[in-house]
Amino acid sequence: MLEKASILNTIKNNIVVLALIGLVLIMSILSKSFLTVSNIINILTQVSIYGIVACAMTFAIICGEFDLSVGSLLAVVTIVFIDMAKNYGFIAAVAASLLIGALVGVINGFLVSRVKISAFVATLSLMVSLKGLALFYTNGKPINYVHDGMYNLGNGSFLGLPYIVYMFFGFIAVSHIVLKYTKFGRNLFATGGNMNVAKMAGINVVYYKFIIFVILGLVTSFAGMIMACRLNSGNSLFGNDLAMSVVAAVVIGGTSLSGGRGSAIKTFLGMLVIGVLFNALLILGVQANWQDVIKGLILITVVSFDAFFSGKG
């Protein structure tokens, strides 16, 4: 019995690694072009921008909250960034983008931590408003601006790896260190694990519930700027699936939606699983609609496994 339990435990703790290895093995048998350097770089590049947001989302989910508005915020930031860069220059664009990100974070944080609205409703209302703002600002049309420096930032590479992949790795590393080795990180876990106990232990839970949304806003605006640089374009359609993909990646990695558990490394692995999966569906030539069906079913399966292994089943 004990052995069986410990085997189950090992599987539970490393299920995302097993899934990743399984996927890679199956795909390298099915397709010769999968396990090539260029395809691996391709996968990493594709998950980088969403992966950066996923780092901040890990903080939020560990703290027991999540944010639906990141997709709309990303769209607004790409638009404002491109527009400001075109008219007022790069520095003004960066400042305006970060300001918007911080402002949205402060509003979300205020609504959730002070007014105590559930994160779902608070961020849903911001999501609707920001999407309306993005559409209103551009009248639904993409806006474009090509600048060599910005293009290079988004598309250039160093030692074969694009800059944005380094940024992604950087965010993962910093998130991992913050979560694992700082007081801030430990207090996040405590707040997400059991808010009342955390409060009694003297942790300012309202502050933590507030600050994670500000972090999310700032990081999302950073991701939006990178996306604008990469695509030389601002578009109200960008980031439509960002919130869901990122939450899915965090959960697939094994960070529990109920809060108090998780790590940045797990999110990295979850993001890789999603990237490999989408890449595999593309390489195998699965039709787009069937891709949706498969993605949906996989999400349900993963959440079920997560709930099952966390002892709720």
Partner 1 sequence: MKSSTVSPKKSVQSYDYLDRIVGILRKYALIVALIILIIVAAFIEPRFISFQNIRNVLNQVSVIGILACGMTFVIITGCIDLSVGSVISITGIVVIKMVKRFGDFPGIIMALMLGALFGFLIGLVMARINGRLGESFMVTYGAQTALAGLAMIVSGGLFLMSDTFGFFSRIGKGANPIVIFLALILICQVFIKRTTFGRNIYFLGANPEAAKLSGINIGRYRVLIFTLSGAIAALAGIVLPSRVAAANPTAGVGYELDAIAAVVVGGISMSGGSGTFLNTLMGVIVIGVLGNALNIMNVTSYPQMIIKGIVIAAAVSLDMWNRSISEGKEILKNA
Residue closer to partner 1 by CB (options 99, 294) is 294
Q: How far apart are CA 70 and CA 105, in angstroms?
A: 10
Q: Shortest distance, CB of residue 119 to partner 1, whole angstroms?
A: 9
Residue closer to partner 1 by CB (options 141, 186) is 141
Q: Shortest distance, CB of residue 207 to partner 1, whole angstroms?
A: 19
Residue 268's φ and ψ, nearest 5 degrees, are: -60, -45
Handedness of CA 83, 85, 87, 91 (dihedral sign): positive
Can you list the alpha helix ranges (DSSP code H) found in 139-241?
148-155, 163-181, 183-193, 195-200, 205-231
Residue closer to partner 1 by CB (options 103, 257) is 257
Q: Shortest distance, CB of residue 138 to partner 1, whole angstroms?
A: 9
Q: Shortest distance, CB of residue 34 to partner 1, whole angstroms?
A: 23
Q: Shortest distance, CB of residue 91 to partner 1, whole angstroms?
A: 28
Beta strands in the chain (DSSP E): 143-144, 157-158, 161-162, 233-234
Residue closer to partner 1 by CB (options 112, 228) is 112
Residue closer to partner 1 by CB (options 131, 176) is 131
Q: Which residues bind partner 1 (CB under 8 A)?
A: 111, 115-118, 120-122, 124-133, 135-136, 139-140, 244, 247-248, 251, 257-258, 288-300, 303-304, 307-308, 312-313
- Are 270 and 249 within 8 A, CB to CB? yes
What 3-state DSSP class applies to 235? coil
Tokens 């539970």 -> residue:
12
Nearest CA to 184 out of 24, 291, 62 is that of 62
What 3-state DSSP class applies to 161? strand
Q: Shortest distance, CB of residue 2 to partner 1, whole angstroms?
A: 25
Residue closer to partner 1 by CB (options 48, 255) is 255
What 3-state DSSP class applies to 160? coil
- Are 34 and 283 within 8 A, CB to CB? yes
